[in-house]
Amino acid sequence: MAESNGRAVPEFMRPVVADEPPASARTVAEHAVLALNESMLQLYETSLTKFKQNMRDQVPIILALFTGEGGQMILYRPGREPEYAPPVPIVYQLAKSVGHSTMAIYEIVSPYLSDAYANQLWRAPLEMYRAQHRPALEGLDALDISDDDRCVLRAILQRNLTFMDECLAQGGYSYDEVETYIRGVVPYSAKSIGIGSGAQVGHWMNVIEGWKEQLGADWERTYAVSNSLYIARQNNILYSILVQFMGTETMGDRLLLVETPEFETTPEKMLDVLGRIVADRSLGMVFFRDYFLMDVELLGGGGRAAIEREMAERGKEALLPTLAPFHSNDWPWKTDPAKGTGPARMEDVAAGAVIRPESVG
């Protein structure tokens, strides 16, 4: 039996009792100091609950959340239950589903382009997806959409079916055949995007316009926050719609765009982020006499100086972003055309143009 302070440790405790040399004074001291930050983070989370409730009690809040159905918007008014806006008309999802179908076929066939005739692993998923296409095509006439929109969706589905039939009949496909098929669908895919975005934008414009009218003078005190995955940050639709009614002067102040690791997040998480940002601004004012300082990485200034110093020691110039004020009403995405190359819109991509990674940079 091992000894613990002069007393034997029972054998049944041996699996869970450490049998190691005593910690050094340095290790004990490190643990004591690090415990301060661990406790701080727990206190930080505890205070957040109160900060969020204080905001809910005093100012209106709009959450604009990304969803596969075209978004979700929620209005939180002080002293009232949350108001959930009606969903985007179903035509958005219909156009999106059909528009994505060509991409789904690409995902099925592209892994086997090098030996599609020899490797038949693509056949089963393609047959399954083809089977789903037939009832979708046959059901288009029953959809409550315009004839013009129906024609666009039909054109995509028919081209998809033709390509899948040819692949299955000949037992394979080449890259040229895949590219020719996709190039033939792209013009209709662009139109399907127009159908979906038109329905989405029109719907949310009406919702925000109505909420602004309801709130009256409180609109000037309203906070709004939207979430975005990396690829949806540029020209973020929900955020851009909010700007139309809140004005560019609210960007980075009462109107915020937050990147999330998934396409979709929860209202609770977004309220957490908003509550922390606003609460930390007061902290920044009390500690550093700047209300917006805490909107940026607190160690950023020191890190910037360290990068410059380290690069100077290596005889090189540090590559760093331009210094900008903590408070900025600039768009929260890239805006300078001079800093990029190539097209900026799908419509700008020349028909038949070849843009490959080796031509960039």
Indicate if the pLDDT at residue 7 is higher than 60.
yes
245 pLDDT above the threshold of 70:
yes
Share of the chain above pLDDT 70, in %: 95
- The per-residue pLDDT for range 166-221, each reduced to its tens digit, is 999 999 999 999 999 999 999 999 999 999 999 999 999 999 999 999 999 999 99
Burial class for 255, CB neighbours closer than 10 Å (0-12, 13-18, 19+): buried
The DSSP bridge partners found for residue 8 are 3
Q: What pLDDT is stored for residue 136 in this prediction?
A: 97
Domain spans in the chain, listed from the N-terminal domain onward: 91-197, 296-328
pLDDT of 107 above 80: yes
Residues 361, 359: Cα–Cα separation, whole Å? 7
Confidence (pLDDT) at 14:
78
Name the DSSP letter for residue 251.
B
Return the pLDDT at 1. 47
Closest C-alpha to 86, from 207, 227, 223: 207
pLDDT range class, residue 129, cuts 50, 70, 90: very high
3 pLDDT above the threshold of 60: no
pTM: 0.87
**Is the per-residue pLDDT at 359 higher than 60?**
no
CA atoms within 13 A on the CB side of 16: 3
pLDDT for 275-320, tens place per residue? 999 999 999 999 999 999 999 887 778 899 999 999 999 999 999 9
What's the pLDDT tens digit per position in 22-32?
889 999 999 99
Place of tokens 């990147």: 259
CB < 8 Å & 24+ apart, contacts of 98-103:
98/136, 98/153, 98/156, 98/157, 98/192, 99/156, 99/189, 99/192, 99/193, 99/196, 101/129, 101/133, 101/156, 101/157, 101/160, 102/156, 102/159, 102/160, 102/182, 102/185, 102/189
